[in-house]
Structure 1
């Protein structure tokens, strides 16, 4: 059974504490926008998976109750930075499994200012869910007094530079591209363009990563209405419908840890496995994709994801971004929204914001950031600990 996105919505992503709102306020705004986009009422929704990482256990109910008190099942989802796409995947599974005809996937986050830690325990890595991941890093690179997530990805960047000859300018080109793209996105937390030289000159967070190559903490929410084919037909929603043509999640295997490499431990093997399964399930390949929203939590992760998705061989991603192949006029447009680096990264909402952007792109509704002729989109969302979700969207 096919599953379709027929409505999407999101709030503007904002710096934490910059707006006087609660998580349920942002969830209501995004959820209602998705329902309005689909042209349906909350009373038609049969299941509600809700993603969040930093709120209390039944915060999903508190948020969903803002849309209606219908008694609908609400599921609280937490898969670290891959939380939003995990909620979307649950929605698709409900529909494809014949358990529901109409599902609302909702994600939100209200965060604190400052760098994101390495685990929910406030930095005690001996008991953290990511203790094994940081242990790999510490064994090879030690542990420094810099933000832990920037540290593990920064060390992955160093390994990429040592192994493949990737340059700091190529890493900075990712940040410059995504900041340039976000100028045209009214939902983005940052909308100022920067040159490669300006990205390189920004404050270093963990060498070689500068502030303009790191995603910020953000407040925000996003949502998607996922429905069955019969719901689409019954309610005349074909013009709005975007098919979830393929989707897969992968978690860590021995490959993530065996080589003692930060490149592996931050998720390139997981992303590659998820991409392979998603392509196989959709009957599509990277050559069919026009527009990509991927998890650029740090610039190096965009380069690693190019390789994992099959856009280039391992080690060639620095040259790929430098060539212009991943921006307007190139082979693909990657992160037209500005990505996590510039659009922002409220963990529970990120994967659903990617789905919203791709839905607008495939409908031709992305305004000044529209990718001409886009018919197939790919979303990639990853969380340490770990989970990688790859989703292929196609306009019927």
Structure 2
């Protein structure tokens, strides 16, 4: 099968809730940017997949209608925080299967201030089993749900391997140094480990405020096409998706009293393993990674889930500088969710944007020298995990 080409990418600068434009305006600009990057008109697009979490049905149509109304199928995708990469997964499948030659994957979010919350409280929550497991393992029902999940995962890791909160603070400080180079990031001020440790305590002994990503508004988009389409239209075919997998939770998520499993460690590890096996490329070959650091705790445990370091080896991986420029693999050169921001539906496609630029060698001030293989990890509790491997030709 044809390996889909990432012919164009686009995004907008991320903003705080209340300081952004409407979701459809941001989305339309991201689409126009992706089309311009590819050198195509909207009329070339044969299918659209639009990812978002907080919005009514057919927000995808509302967004692309501002760019063009060509009658092509528009599919709206909600897979929690992995909505954008799920849209990308669907677009990749359509191209790879020959159902379409040119597909748009779009992600956007117009968020409200404050912690994530459910909007439909008159029915069974999709997080019911996650909440029950979290109550059983760590309690602390007064802490917002996402903070309990990932703060609990951090406690689980610390209990297993003897790490401290300062290790998570080092991850957050690294994210800020990377974001300072990225003009599209929300938070560009560098913070130190001390700054993180002296930020407000959200959960004593488990979580400080600066270890969590901020609510964010934004949009990003990618144009995927077949090799034959790229040749016919003279498009940039430098970056291709060589393997991609999506997994949902298995029994181990709830079987053990381990918050790392509850937040998707096993799901991420299985997804990454499938990608490596399918591509014949291993974690030691990867030069740049954009991973789902919604909390500093999740970045640290995801190093191990993705095979970037051995289980229990994250502390050494961080202290040796192997997660940043000059080390083994640069993780989140964009600043990641912690500093670039996390507009839920846009995150997966913003990761695609950064990695495409990196592998083209056009990432500017965030460029990783010699980047040829990039790995993307996007996670949604509830659950879904998408891992995508990109390669420069």
TM-score normalised over the length of structure 2: 0.97
2:106 matched residue in structure 1: 106
Structure 1 partner of 2:76: 76
- State the match for 2:364 in structure 1: 367
Aligned to 2:159: 162
Alpha-carbon distance in structure 2 between the residues aligned to 1:150 and 1:142: 12
Corresponding residue for residue 228 of structure 1: 226
Query: Once the 2 structures are TM-superposed, how far is the Cα of residue 120 of structure 1 from its aligned partner?
Result: 4.1
**1:58-207 alignment runs, 5 A limit:** 58-117=58-117, 119-121=118-120, 127-207=124-204
Contact 1:215/1:345 (<8 A) preserved: yes
Counterpart of 1:11? 12
The equivalent of 2:46 in structure 1 is 46
CA distance in 2, matches of 1:241, 1:227: 12
Residues 279-298 of structure 1 deviation map (CA, whole Å, 9 limit, x = unaligned): 12222110110000000000
Deviation at 1:201, TM superposition (A): 0.8
Q: Following the alignment from structure 1 to structure 2, what is the Cα–Cα distance between the partners of residues 358 and 211?
A: 28
Aligned residues between the structures: 391
In the other structure, the counterpart of 2:341 is: 344
2:243 to 246, 254, 258: 246
Q: Which residue of 1 aligns with 2:319?
A: 322
1:272 Cα deviation after fit:
0.4
For residue 362 of structure 1, give the secondary structure of its aligned residue in structure 2.
helix
Query: Are the counterparts in 2 of residues 120 and 128 from structure 1 also a CA contact under 8 Å?
Result: no
1:209 — aligned with what? 207
Which residue number in structure 2 is paired with residue 57 of structure 1? 57
Conservation of the 8 A alpha-carbon contact between 1:5 and 1:224: yes
In the TM superposition, what is the alpha-carbon distance from 1:143 to its structure 2 partner?
3.1
Are residue 257 (structure 1) and residue 258 (structure 2) matched?
no
Q: Is the 8 A contact 1:257 1:265 kept in 2?
A: yes
Unaligned 5+ segments in structure 2 are: none
- CA distance in 2 between partners of 1:279 and 1:133 (Å): 28
Q: State the 1:260 CA deviation.
A: 2.1
Structure 1's 120 and 285: CA in aligned 2 closer, same or farther, altered over 3 A?
farther
The answer on 1:392 being equivalent to 2:380 is no
**8 A contact 1:167–1:318 mirrored in 2:** no
Any conservation in 2 of the 1:184–1:191 contact (CA below 8 Å)? Answer: yes
In the alignment, the residues of structure 2 paired with residue 177 and residue 370 of structure 1 have an alpha-carbon distance, to the nearest angstrom, of 16
Q: How far has the Cα of 1:223 moved from its partner? A: 0.1
Structure 2 Cα separation of the partners of residues 172 and 279 of structure 1:
30
Secondary structure class of the residue paired with 2:327: coil
Deviating 4+ runs (over 6 angstroms): none
Q: Name structure 1 gaps, 5 residues minimum.
A: none
Encode CA deviations 1:246-283: one digit per residue, 9 max, x unaligned.
Answer: 10011100011110211101000000011011112222
SS in structure 1 at match of 2:358: helix
User: Separation in 2 of the partners of 1:377 and 1:80?
Assistant: 23
